[in-house]
Amino acid sequence: MVHMRDVWVNWFEGEENSYNVCEFFEWKKSDRIELLDQIAVVKINTNLLDYMENTLLELPEELLADICRQSYIRQKNERIALEYCFIATNGQRALVVDTLGYHTPIRKSRMVPRQEERLRELVENDPVSDYYMDYLDCEKQYHMLSPNPEFMNGLVRREKQLKQLLFMALDQLYEDAELPELRYWYTEWAPHKYSFIQGMSFDDVWTGLFNDIKYGWSKCHEDFCFEMIKGQPFFEKTWELQHEEEMNKTNK
């Protein structure tokens, strides 16, 4: 089995969507960045790589057996074996995975570009390992709390995180609001549609608001998100953390 040495990783834990496993250029000093002493490499097909990136479902037993205790981290001069930790690549892109001893891809990381380039050269002539997957064709289900990647296209890390906060607020609005409140929020987003909105049903208002908001990110999105989360401590704290990081970045 092929291995790589001294690989930097930035773990994103419990992420079921690839857009939340950030590329190297969006890593922050506050992230959990580690140096792996040695890590196993498996070359797999693109479908299986997509599956690992976009689910938290079980990995093939044969793959787990192949990479079991093949990777190591150093802690206080001690070399410690990791139960199931590996780099998965299709020869073009890569994902570092650590299951924390389970059978699912709990922690995921991108790679430093120069190390990813070295990885491509390392596996260039290697065959793809064909692991059996009887659940590979399961269709990914997206919803408000796990948005479709199309809605995140072109957004940087901060924008994606704020957009997910907005979707969380919208999800709560859908569950709790009566028609007048929903009409109010749609009017806040699109005041020029006021007369039209007043004659719409609950479902039509909701569909219209969601369709207007779901793509892209702008100052209007950010202002609307801020207004929606006012008075909700958990949402406000998430908002504050994002803006504190942005301010710290600006002041450097």
Q: pLDDT confidence of 127, banded at 50, 70, 90?
A: very high
Distances in Å between the Cα of 143 and the Cα atoms of 112, 140, 157, 171, 238 are 31, 10, 20, 9, 20
- Give the pLDDT band of residue 141 (cuts 50, 70, 90): confident
Q: What is the pLDDT of residue 34?
A: 96
DSSP assignment string, 162-183: HHHHHHHHHHHHHHH--HHHHH
pLDDT in tens, 153-172: 999 999 999 999 999 999 99
For residue 232, give every residue at least 6 positions away whose Cβ sits within 8 Å of its Cβ, in sequence order, or none: 169, 172
pLDDT of residue 250: 54
Residue 75 phi, psi (nearest 5):
-135, 115
Tokens describing residue 137 = 């064709």
Instruction: Dump the DSSP string for 105-161.
Output: --EEE---HHHHHHHHHHHTTPPPP----TTTTPPPPPBTTB--GGGGTT--HHHHH
Task: Give one DSSP letter per residue of 69-104, joined into a string.
Answer: EEEEEEETTEEEEEEEEEEEE-SS-EEEEE-TTSSS
Rounded to whole angstroms, the maximal C-alpha distance in the chain is 70
Asked if 189 and 213 touch (Cβ cutoff 8 Å), the reply is yes
Convert the pLDDT of each residue in 166-207 to its tens digit: 999 999 999 999 999 999 999 999 999 999 999 999 999 999
Average pLDDT of the chain to the nearest whole number: 93
- 38-61 residue pLDDT tens: 999 999 999 999 999 999 999 999
- Cα angle at 141 between 134 and 177, to 5 degrees? 155
| Dihedral, 79, 6, 48, 168 alpha carbons, nearest 10 | 90
- For 232-245, write each residue's pLDDT tens digit: 999 999 898 887 66
pLDDT at 251: 53
pLDDT value for 133: 82
Distance of CA 35 to the CA centre of its chain: 21
- Return the percentage of the chain with pLDDT > 90, whole number: 87
pLDDT at position 31: 92
Looking at the predicted structure, is the pLDDT value of residue 138 above 80?
Answer: no
Q: Note the pLDDT tens digit of each residue in 143-154.
A: 999 999 999 999
Mean pLDDT value of segment 92-111: 97
What distance in Å separates the CA atoms of residue 187 and residue 75, rounded to the nearest whole number?
Answer: 56
H or E segment at 30? none
| Residues 69-96: tens digit of each pLDDT | 999 999 888 999 999 999 999 999 999 9
Q: What pLDDT score does 93 carry?
A: 96
pLDDT of amino acid 247: 59
Between CA 214 and CA 226, with CA 220 as vertex, the angle to 5 degrees is 90
Residue that has been written with the tokens 């190297």 in this structure = 24
pLDDT of res. 248: 59
Domain ranges of the chain: 3-123, 149-251
- pLDDT at position 129 is 95
